[in-house]
Amino acid sequence: MANKKIKWFIYTVLVGMIPIISRLLITSIINKEDVTFFVATDFIALGLVLHISIINELEHVKNDINWKTIQNGMSIVYIAAYSVLFCLGILNDEIPNMIDKSILLKLSVILVVTSFFLSSSVFHRVNAIYLKDSNV
Protein backbone atom coordinates (compact mmCIF):
# COMPACT_ATOMS: atom_id res chain seq x y z
CA MET A 1 0.00 0.00 0.00
CA ALA A 2 1.55 3.26 -1.09
CA ASN A 3 -0.59 5.45 1.13
CA LYS A 4 0.49 5.36 4.78
CA LYS A 5 -2.75 7.08 5.87
CA ILE A 6 -4.82 4.12 4.65
CA LYS A 7 -2.53 1.70 6.49
CA TRP A 8 -2.76 3.91 9.58
CA PHE A 9 -6.54 3.89 9.49
CA ILE A 10 -6.85 0.13 9.00
CA TYR A 11 -3.99 -1.11 11.17
CA THR A 12 -4.15 1.50 13.91
CA VAL A 13 -7.58 3.08 14.17
CA LEU A 14 -9.71 0.05 13.34
CA VAL A 15 -7.55 -2.36 15.36
CA GLY A 16 -7.55 0.10 18.27
CA MET A 17 -11.34 0.25 18.09
CA ILE A 18 -11.76 -3.53 18.45
CA PRO A 19 -12.58 -3.29 22.20
CA ILE A 20 -15.19 -0.58 21.55
CA ILE A 21 -16.76 -2.42 18.61
CA SER A 22 -16.71 -5.74 20.48
CA ARG A 23 -18.45 -4.24 23.50
CA LEU A 24 -21.11 -2.62 21.29
CA LEU A 25 -21.78 -5.93 19.53
CA ILE A 26 -21.91 -7.92 22.77
CA THR A 27 -24.14 -5.43 24.58
CA SER A 28 -26.54 -5.32 21.64
CA ILE A 29 -26.86 -9.14 21.69
CA ILE A 30 -27.27 -9.86 25.40
CA ASN A 31 -30.38 -9.01 27.40
CA LYS A 32 -28.82 -7.52 30.51
CA GLU A 33 -29.82 -3.91 31.06
CA ASP A 34 -27.00 -3.16 33.47
CA VAL A 35 -24.25 -3.74 30.89
CA THR A 36 -22.58 -0.50 29.84
CA PHE A 37 -22.23 0.31 26.13
CA PHE A 38 -19.13 2.46 26.59
CA VAL A 39 -16.40 2.23 29.24
CA ALA A 40 -13.31 4.34 29.71
CA THR A 41 -10.83 1.48 29.40
CA ASP A 42 -11.91 0.73 25.82
CA PHE A 43 -11.18 4.32 24.80
CA ILE A 44 -7.94 4.29 26.79
CA ALA A 45 -6.83 1.24 24.79
CA LEU A 46 -7.55 3.09 21.53
CA GLY A 47 -5.57 6.11 22.72
CA LEU A 48 -2.60 3.98 23.70
CA VAL A 49 -2.63 2.27 20.30
CA LEU A 50 -2.73 5.65 18.53
CA HIS A 51 0.26 7.03 20.42
CA ILE A 52 2.33 3.87 20.28
CA SER A 53 1.82 3.87 16.51
CA ILE A 54 3.01 7.49 16.35
CA ILE A 55 6.20 6.65 18.23
CA ASN A 56 6.76 3.58 16.07
CA GLU A 57 6.19 5.41 12.78
CA LEU A 58 8.42 8.33 13.73
CA GLU A 59 11.33 5.93 14.16
CA HIS A 60 11.45 5.77 10.35
CA VAL A 61 11.52 9.55 9.82
CA LYS A 62 15.07 10.68 9.11
CA ASN A 63 14.54 14.43 8.70
CA ASP A 64 12.57 16.97 10.78
CA ILE A 65 14.34 15.95 13.99
CA ASN A 66 12.82 18.79 16.06
CA TRP A 67 9.27 17.98 14.88
CA LYS A 68 9.90 14.29 15.52
CA THR A 69 11.12 15.02 19.07
CA ILE A 70 8.07 17.19 19.81
CA GLN A 71 5.67 14.53 18.51
CA ASN A 72 7.39 11.77 20.49
CA GLY A 73 7.30 13.94 23.61
CA MET A 74 3.60 14.68 23.16
CA SER A 75 2.89 10.98 22.69
CA ILE A 76 4.76 10.15 25.89
CA VAL A 77 2.71 12.76 27.79
CA TYR A 78 -0.52 11.31 26.37
CA ILE A 79 0.58 7.75 27.23
CA ALA A 80 1.26 8.90 30.81
CA ALA A 81 -2.21 10.49 30.97
CA TYR A 82 -3.82 7.33 29.62
CA SER A 83 -1.88 5.29 32.18
CA VAL A 84 -3.25 7.40 35.03
CA LEU A 85 -6.80 7.07 33.67
CA PHE A 86 -6.34 3.32 33.26
CA CYS A 87 -5.13 3.00 36.86
CA LEU A 88 -8.14 5.00 38.03
CA GLY A 89 -10.40 2.65 36.07
CA ILE A 90 -8.79 -0.41 37.64
CA LEU A 91 -8.92 1.10 41.13
CA ASN A 92 -12.57 1.98 40.61
CA ASP A 93 -13.27 -1.68 39.86
CA GLU A 94 -11.53 -2.66 43.11
CA ILE A 95 -13.01 0.17 45.20
CA PRO A 96 -16.51 0.87 43.82
CA ASN A 97 -17.65 4.51 43.70
CA MET A 98 -14.12 5.77 44.30
CA ILE A 99 -14.53 8.03 41.27
CA ASP A 100 -17.43 8.90 39.01
CA LYS A 101 -17.33 6.52 36.03
CA SER A 102 -19.04 9.06 33.78
CA ILE A 103 -16.30 11.62 34.42
CA LEU A 104 -13.63 9.00 33.72
CA LEU A 105 -15.42 8.09 30.47
CA LYS A 106 -15.74 11.74 29.42
CA LEU A 107 -12.06 12.41 30.10
CA SER A 108 -11.08 9.30 28.15
CA VAL A 109 -13.26 10.25 25.17
CA ILE A 110 -11.91 13.82 25.13
CA LEU A 111 -8.34 12.52 25.24
CA VAL A 112 -8.95 9.95 22.50
CA VAL A 113 -10.57 12.54 20.20
CA THR A 114 -7.54 14.81 20.59
CA SER A 115 -5.27 11.79 20.14
CA PHE A 116 -7.09 10.88 16.93
CA PHE A 117 -6.58 14.34 15.45
CA LEU A 118 -2.95 14.44 16.58
CA SER A 119 -2.28 10.98 15.16
CA SER A 120 -4.07 11.88 11.93
CA SER A 121 -1.96 15.01 11.50
CA VAL A 122 1.27 13.12 12.24
CA PHE A 123 0.43 10.42 9.72
CA HIS A 124 -0.60 13.05 7.16
CA ARG A 125 2.84 14.64 7.44
CA VAL A 126 4.65 11.28 7.48
CA ASN A 127 2.67 10.25 4.39
CA ALA A 128 3.64 13.49 2.63
CA ILE A 129 7.31 12.84 3.45
CA TYR A 130 6.99 9.24 2.24
CA LEU A 131 5.31 10.25 -1.04
CA LYS A 132 7.87 13.01 -1.63
CA ASP A 133 10.78 10.62 -1.02
CA SER A 134 9.30 7.86 -3.18
CA ASN A 135 8.75 10.23 -6.15
CA VAL A 136 12.40 11.31 -6.18
* 100: in domain: yes
* 2: in domain: no
In 4-88 the beta strands, taken as DSSP E runs, fall at none
* 69: in domain: yes
Distance separating alpha carbons of residues 97 and 106, to the nearest angstrom: 16
User: Which amino acid is present at 19?
Assistant: P
Please give the tally of structural domains in the chain.
1
Low-confidence ranges of the chain (pLDDT < 50): 1
pTM of the model: 0.90
* 32: in domain: no
* 128: in domain: no
Q: Which of 113, 132, 114, 117 is nearest to 4 (CA)?
A: 132
Distance separating alpha carbons of residues 52 and 72, to the nearest angstrom: 9
* 85: in domain: yes
pLDDT value, residue 117: 98
pLDDT value, residue 1: 47
**Residue range of the domain that includes 83:** 40-123
pLDDT value, residue 63: 86
